[in-house]
Structures are given as C-alpha cells and as structure tokens.
A and B are shown apart, each in its own frame.
Chain A
Amino acid sequence: MTRFDLAIIGAGPAGMAAAATAAEVGMSVCVLDEQPRAGGQIYRDVERAAGLRGDILGKDYTQGAPLVAGLRQAVITHVGGAVVWAIEPGFRISYTCDGAAAQIEAARVLLATGALERPMPLPGWTLPGVMTAGAGQILLKQSGVLARRAVLVGSGPLLYLIAVQMVRAGTPPLALVETQRRADLIRSAQHLGGALRGWRYLLKGLGLLAEIARARVPRHTGATEIEVEGEGRAEAVSFESRGKHHRIACETVYLHHGVVPNTQAARSLGVSHKWNAAQACFVPVLDEWGQSDVPGVCIAGDGAGIGGARVAEIAGRLAALKLAEEAGRLSASDRDDRATPLHAALSVERAARPFLDVAYPPYAGAIAPTDTTVICRCEEVTAGDIRSYAGIGCLGPNQTKAFGRAGMGPCQGRYCGLTVTALLAEANGQSPDETGYYRIRPPLKPITLGELASMDGPEKDAAG
C-alpha cells in the first residue's frame, strides 16, 4: 500500500490549493476525487468547458483553471474518479476507482469535501424534472445541457447566477419564485457595513439582478405554500405570493435555498460538530487553521462552513501550512509568515457572508414541511412519520432511523439529515445540538460486495 505524507479528499478549490501548497514544501500528496477531472463542483470540468462556454459561465468560473493546472506536479498524485468509502485511523483510506477497490495510507488527512445543496423538501420535490439549482449549473458547466422551460425556486445568489447564465445561453427561466421576504432584506441591512468590505460580492449580486430584469424574467418574492405538481413528472409550480395564488406550468424545477457543509467523511472520523445558527446547519469544530479535534485531520473549504470558492482556496492553503508544520516541513515562524497575508485575505472574503445569511434565509416551509411531504427521498419517509416517532420516544435521528428507515438508503442521510434533526428538535423542544445527527459509518458511498471481498480480510487469529 502506498503511503503519503498527506491525503486530500476532494479536488475543489480547497483541495487543489492545499495540494499545491503542501507540494511546495516537499510533502508527498495524494488527492482523491470522485470526479474524473479536478475542479470540484464550482470549477467542474473547467479545463474542458472554459473554452467551450466560458462566455456563458463567466470569469468566476474560468479562474479555476490555474488551480487545476497546479495539480500537475511530480509530488502530487491526483486520482480522478476515486470514490472514498472509508477513512480509518492511521490513516487507511479505502476507495473504489473504475470498479476496483484500492487503498492508500497517509500520515495526515485534509478533508475538502465541499458542500451539498440544503435539502428543500416540499410537496412534489421527488418528481422527475425537479432538481437542485446546483444540478442545473453542473448540467450547464460540464455538459452544456440547459432546461428549456424551467422555474427557479428558493433564495440566494446561486439562484440569480444560474438565472443569468440561462439568459446568456438563450433559454431564460420562465420565472423566479423567491422565498425571501422584504423583512429579511431589511434585517440584513444591519450587516451591510461588514458586507461593504466584501463589496465585490455585492456588486456582482446587483449586476446579476440587473441582467435578470433586462431579460424580463418575472420574479415572485415572499413565496409560500410552494408545491410542485405533476403526474409522474413535474408539470407546474404553484405557490402563494403577495396574497395571490400562482401556478406556472413548466417541465423543470430548480430548487435552491442555500448550501450546507458535506460533513459525512468528517463525521465518520468522529470529528465534533456544532450547530451554526446563522447558517442553519452543523459545522465541524475547527481552529483557525482548520484543525479538527481528531489529531491529524484538517478540514477546509465549504465542508468547514460555507464561505465560497475564494474562502475555500485560502483555507486550503492555511490548512496545508499547518499540516506541513506538524510534519516538520516548515518551522512555526515560516508557517506564520506565509499565513499572515492569507488570514487577512480570508477576513475580507468572509465579510459579505453575514449579510447573505440574513438576506436569504432558508425557506421556512421546507425546514418544517407538511406531514405528508417526503423528507427521506431514498426510503420515502414523510415529515409526519418523523413527528410520530418523536411521539413514541425518539430523541434523536438514530432512533428514528431504526423506527422508520429515514437515512438508511444509499444517500446515507445526505438529503434528509438536517430535516430530521430540525423536525425532532421542534417536536421534542430541544436544540439541534441536543438532538444530534446521524452516526455516519463506512461505506460513505456504496461499494459492491465483490470489490469489498477482493480486499484483505481479518487476520486468521483475530477472526474468531
């Protein structure tokens, strides 16, 4: 088994930047990434797609290309298409690639596993034709595939970005159904002072809104009672807005009300997590370098708390500096010299975040869905089921998992975990921290039994 100084899980901005920094100081690095080509979701397939449709996707996307190029160094082993399914202490990392099982060892691990779309369970969200807005963007970035008749539902800057990209590509969305209310915008004003330090983000946001307005895409704000209607596939979105009922016929619905850290790998290693009320999600407990409470494990990028691509890149470099210092490749003073400008840049890049979190809160109707709404897509468990399990003594999501299978399917709770915690917290009058989260175990992603069986089994004397 090959042993590396550092294993990096994920080749998005955090993972790619960390790899380059670690390589600079002479560490041997292995980057394991699920996608065939580096970039993460934000720069997905950027080397292939930038030339083809860079005009539609914009400079924020094409700027990822140099990071990808930075992976091509002798001391960096980048394994594309590597689906990591177990990280065990030591560290022994098991993954599957091209249908075959493989393993590496590493002295240290950096988790750069990014974000997931915040689950948005509302009636009809499991119908074919309903996707996340992130999925819509990935279709465009990687494949040049666009929805012809789409409605965008939810809130947040990503919704505006994809709307503009669709406009530029000549297939504007039929409408934006936005859940944020005027009151949210007014409350967010108190954070404007901080946000002005991150003025580039605000300017971009205003530019996007102007492009949407020029294309005459209708915007409905303060939407509630949102449902996707259809027999066997999405046919329309219905909702209330400003006291009126609306129904918009469509074929595709893109949902988005923020992104949340993908904590699966960190949780499987036993990293402590805490509820972050401002971002309404769990985040790992980390120091200013991204070091977790599990020795040898750092976390950078959106998986450490949502900050976006620029924050991820800087945090990746900081974590790499810390790990290099621990490994004896850098003195503490060298590390700090290199880190000082990065820490300063980080605080500027993070300045707009509090404003955005308040201006675009999650859709309340999807945080506490109606009883009949499916909240676990894999096992088709409803919000009402979870509430009824609270009534027979379930204090946390692991007991509801046993009672009703929510979180037992192949997605391992990625798209129901936060909803189950929220429902139980509400029903039991507990905080999200008291309620807790799923215990995440290997396999982090399914693996065939055949692949598993091809790996070494237990030592004979320990088999029992």
Chain B
Amino acid sequence: MSSDYVIIGGGVVGLSTAWGLLKRGLRVTVLDGDDGSFRASRGNFGLVWVQSKGMNQPRYARWSQTSAAAWAEFATELGEATGQDLGLEQKGGYDFHFSEESLLATVEKYEALKEKLDGNYPFEVLGRNALRKEEPHIGPKVMGAILHHQDGHANPLRLLRALAADVRRMGGRVLTGRTVTDVTKPDGFRVICADGAIVEAGKLVLSAGLGAALLGPKLGFKAPVRPQRGQVLITEKLPKIINRPSLIARQVDEGGVQIGATNEEVGLDDGVTQPGLSGLAAEAIAAYPVLARAQLVRSWGALRVLSPDGLPIYQESAEMPGAYLVTCHSGITLAAAHARFLPDWLEGTEAAPDLEVFGEARFS
C-alpha cells in the first residue's frame, strides 16, 4: 500500500506533522523506533516558549510566536478528539535574574529584538517586590524577572500520547519498532527497514531527531544535528507553589515541580550525574527556597537535537525532490506550527509559510 507521505520518526515533531497532513485528507505512514530509542519527546521540559528565542534571527522568534499563538486552538481540537487535557497554560513565563547586570543586559537585547518584530514582543520587567506579588515563594536571591506574556507551558507527555492516538484514529498508519536502513527513489520513495518492511510513498519527511544525522546524507541532506544533554529533575507532587513557568522550574499540572536543565556536550550519553543534579537543585532552591524540603522523585537525561545555530532546519532535498528534512530543538513549542502550517509548506500551497531562512544553505 502506498501513502502520500512517509514520515520517518514518530516523536512529537513527526506526529504533529502527520496529524496536520491527515487533517487535509492525505494518507500518511509513520515509522517509529522502539522503547529504548533516544526520544526528546519523552524527556523535554514542556515549555511553549517565545522569549530568548531567535535573538539573532527574528524570523525564528516570529515562527515561535506564530506557533505559540496557534497552540490554544490546536490543544482544544486535539484534546477534544482524544478526551485529553493537554495541560496548556499560556499566561506568561519568567526569565529570572540573580544580578542586576544580567537583567539589564537581557532587557537591552529584548528591546532590540522587539524593534525588529515591529513591537510585537510583549514583556515587562518585574522588580523584587512586583515579582513577590506574582510568585509569593520566590527567594531573596532573585533580583528580578522578565515576564513575557507570550510564554506558557503544556503537558508534553499527554501531547505525545494524544498525537499517537489521534493520528491512528484518523487513519494514519504507524509502524513501531522500526529502524530505517535505506531509502531509494526509483519513482516514488521506497523506505527499507531493518526488519525487511518496505514502505512506499509519494513524499517523505525526515523527522528522526538525532537519527537524521545518519539518514540525512542518504537523502541528500547535510543534517548537521548533534546531541546536547539536558538533565532534568522532578519532585513529589506538591500543593501549588509556582504560578508561572520559567527556564529554571515549572509546576506541572499533576503537581510535581520540574527543574531543568543542564547543557552538556557529552555525545550520546543520556545519563544523569550527581554533580549535574546537585547544581540544578541548588539553582531551583535559590529561586524557590521552599523547594529545599521537597523530595526529588525522578531525574533523567535527555538529548536535545541541535543544529549548529540552534535554529530549526526545514529543507527539501535537491537530490531527492519530495524528501523534506524537518528538525528542531523546540518540538513542543513548534508543535502547533508543524500541525497547522507546515503541511502548507510540504504541499506547496499558496498559504505556505516562508521558511527559507531555515534551509541548509546557511550551513555552507
């Protein structure tokens, strides 16, 4: 059976894209890995985030804003179809600062970006007292915060599960436990898996996270993605103590406080280390001293999928037209854009977003 699309990679990026294509009546096959695959979709921090993104590339800031703005409707539609509450909350998020210098320096950069975005960059600076009104548990070491009103967070695991369920409900074919070994294009695409399975499709989307580094070159992509480890902590379920998310900590809808994350260049090692965990715990306590008495229940390491400049890559293959590389670090933030707008780009409709700045030409 031939599909319109074969999507290699069944994480949030691949499934959001599949979901959007299915909504348009296209036939989609998704190839997914196994229980032990590296999965950023299972290890991420769950932010739907705008601030600090695209400081040097306003188009990325705008793409993040576009997705954040589309998230509420996306979450409602997906949530209703699957009976899932995706836990979306978009009432702003913080960037905490422990010194006045760093706060001022960041504000200056945000002002510059705001200008390039025609003023659409709604943030405000909260001093110590103003912040304490918003976050009664904030600690004395926090000098202030930038509150960005376009920021928020969601429950990324429920997003993953809802997408997995709804893609199937809409007739998407999802083959799990697969490792793609080769791709040819005699006429349409033929994707060959390690277990001998062959999937044929008119178009192909490569959204295999770190797996793209291996498969990409076979399809004519540079696919210069590398792993960067982030260690993450989560506490026991607690009564409400954090109102809005930050890059340091957020309280998830089930009650646990999630604390993140390290940035470590350690290759494909997704382990956790005592010093890594201790550093994160100390920072979280500096922000919210009351957390010192909370029990850490779980920790994990997950591997970010990073391009050299940290921006997403959207590229059609010159060697194999009809094959698209879709990869990014912020699969949760961009899920709504991938579900709503990326299909236009893949299908080449009038409404296609201009994603040229995210092409691989920038790496030459």
Contact = CB atoms under 8 A, between A and B. Distances in A.
Query: Are A and B physically bound partners?
Result: yes
Interface of A: 86, 88, 92, 94, 103, 389, 392-399, 402-405, 408-410, 412, 435-436, 439, 441-443, 446-450, 452-459, 462-464
B275 A457 contact: yes
30 contacts: A86-B274, A94-B274, A103-B274, A389-B161, A392-B161, A393-B164, A393-B176, A395-B34, A395-B35, A398-B36, A404-B161, A405-B157, A405-B254, A410-B297, A436-B35, A436-B36, A441-B271, A441-B300, A447-B295, A448-B293, A448-B296, A452-B282, A453-B292, A457-B275, A457-B278, A457-B279, A458-B273, A458-B278, A459-B275, A463-B279
Interface residues of B, number: 50
Given A393-B10, A450-B293, A412 B298 contact: yes
Contact of B278 (A398, A441, A453): A453
B262 A448 contact: no
Interface in B293-338: 293-301
A464 B264 contact: yes
Contact of A88 (B41, B165, B274): B274
Contacts of A395: 34-35, 176-177
Contacts of B278: 452-458
Contact of B299 (A88, A443, A464): A443
B285 A453 contact: yes
A442 B292 contact: no
Contact of B34 (A94, A396, A402, A448): A396
A295 B106 CA distance: 48
Contacts of A449: 233, 235, 259, 281, 284-285, 291-296
Contacts of B35: 394-399, 435-436
B309 to A, nearest CB: 17
B100 interface: no
Residue from B174, B277, B293 whose CB has the most chain A CB atoms within 10 Å: B277
Given A398-B42, A441-B298, A392 B275 contact: no
A396 B164 contact: no
A447 B296 contact: yes
Interface of B: 10, 32, 34-36, 39, 41-42, 157, 160-161, 164-165, 168, 174, 176-177, 233, 235-236, 254, 259, 262-265, 271-279, 281-282, 284-285, 291-301
B160 A402 contact: yes
A439 B34 CA distance: 13
B150 to A, nearest CB: 26
Nearest to A463: B279
A57 B360 CA distance: 74
Given A402-B42, A449-B284, 5 more contacts: A88-B274, A404-B161, A412-B298, A436-B36, A464-B263
B282 A464 contact: no
Contacts of B273: 88, 458
A325 B107 CA distance: 63
Contacts, number: 133
Q: Which 7 A-B pairs have the closest CB atoms?
A: A396-B35, A450-B292, A457-B279, A452-B281, A446-B295, A453-B282, A464-B263
B36 A464 contact: no
B285 A92 contact: no
A416 B296 CA distance: 20
Contacts of B293: 448-450
Contacts of A456: 275, 278
B32 A393 contact: yes
B298 to A, nearest CB: 6
A92 B34 CA distance: 31
Nearest to B157: A402
A332 B152 CA distance: 63
Nearest to A457: B279
B294 A409 contact: no
A464 B265 contact: yes
A396 B284 CA distance: 33
A88 B275 CA distance: 11
Given A410-B295, A455-B274, A396 B36 contact: yes
A86 B259 CA distance: 18
B298 A408 contact: yes
A403 B165 CA distance: 10
Contacts of A397: 35
A393 B18 CA distance: 15
A397 B168 CA distance: 20
A441 B299 contact: yes
Contacts of B42: 398-399, 402
Given A402-B160, A449-B285, A458 B275 contact: yes
A404 B254 CA distance: 12
Contacts of A457: 275-276, 278-279, 282
B157 A403 contact: yes
Contacts of B160: 402-403
A442 B10 CA distance: 27
Contacts of B297: 408-410, 443, 446
A443 B295 CA distance: 10
A391 to B, nearest CB: 8
Nearest to B271: A441
A462 B279 CA distance: 11
A60 to B, nearest CB: 37
Contacts of B165: 392
A55 to B, nearest CB: 40
